[in-house]
Amino acid sequence: MLLESVPNVSEGRRAEVVDRLAAAVRAVEGVHLLDRTSDPDHNRSVLTLVGGPGPLQLALLELYAEAARSIDLSAHRGVHPRIGAVDVTPFVPLAGAAMADAVDAARSLARRVSERFGLGVYLYEAAASSEARRSLAALRRGGTEGLAERLRDAVWRPDFGPARIDPRGGVTVIGARDFLIAFNVVLATEDASVARRIARSVRASGGGLPAVKAIGVLLASRRRAQVSMNLTDFRRTPPREAFEAVREAARAEGVAVLESELVGLAPEAAFAGVDPDELRLVSFSPEKLLETHLRRLGLTPSQPEG
């Protein structure tokens, strides 16, 4: 049984910290670190791991331990929404596994994280304990301040751990889901309001593309605005369609699209038949495809059983 896990950590500026986080997961036998991506403006790093449910949980516990030592959420600044030092940890079923296996791993890890680190843990997506908690955006709405307000209501008590926000570690969200593609488009403007309007027009909640979540942010280090998207079902909205929608909306704003970028890895089916130049996709190669790494390791490619 093979699962993927893609922990998102609230640190993207201190390379030495990200190095220690990566080393912590690499030290666990049976777990493979396939990719790590960091962004200083989002101040966030995304790690892509694969392994069996047991070894993956051990590696992730070591990741949480290193994050507890190295990250202070109260001092964190970045444009990406977050409520935890280890903000979100999803499990994704690969070959030989079903979604139920990913759910079991998520719930087991959630219990162990709460017991070992004293953090409040929320379950989301397929592992969620209620429909109201299924959406990551709903859990993160308003950041730690918004969550602190909701914690006054017992309905919002974490699934595991204390009903409080740890000053350094915050809370964490753990769950199970299908593949998600983090795909960003950079605009030829510094005006973040333009990116926010475009994000509203393309995301599903605004009547845009199905299975698309989007926000508009300013990349201060690059002096450019960005439409940051999560494609939660690339079969319904593939990267090419998302890119074209952003480009059309940008054209209506009188703004050009400079480039796009893939954060982490993606299934090769999402980019089948796609010319990266058409998407102005930077730093794209077969190394950005999940199956490239799985085949290199002699592991079965990434179609889940269901």
- 159-212 pLDDT, tens digit per residue, is 999 999 999 999 999 999 999 999 999 999 999 999 999 999 999 999 999 999
Question: What pTM was estimated for this model as a whole?
Answer: 0.94
Predicted confidence at residue 280, as pLDDT, reads 96
- 221-278 pLDDT, tens digit per residue, is 999 999 999 999 999 999 999 999 999 999 999 999 999 999 999 999 999 999 999 9
What domains are there in the chain, each with its CATH number?
3-176 (3.30.990.10), 181-291 (3.30.70.670)
- Has residue 303 got a pLDDT over 90? no
Mean pLDDT of 101-117: 98
Can you read off the two tokens belonging to residue 282? 């930077």
Predicted confidence at residue 95, as pLDDT, reads 83
Mean pLDDT of 93-121: 97
Angle at CA 231, nearest 5°, toward 216 and 226?
Answer: 20
Residues tagged active-site: 80
Mean pLDDT of 276-296: 95
Q: Do 219 and 41 meet the contact criterion of CB atoms below 8 Å apart? A: yes
Predicted confidence at residue 287, as pLDDT, reads 95
- 6-59 pLDDT, tens digit per residue, is 999 999 999 999 999 999 999 999 999 999 999 999 999 999 999 999 999 999
Q: For the CA atoms of 268, 274, 279, 284, what is the dihedral angle to 10 degrees?
A: 40
Q: Chain-centre distance of CA 108, in angstroms?
A: 20
Predicted confidence at residue 113, as pLDDT, reads 98
Predicted confidence at residue 306, as pLDDT, reads 36
| CB count in 10 Å sphere of residue 32 | 21
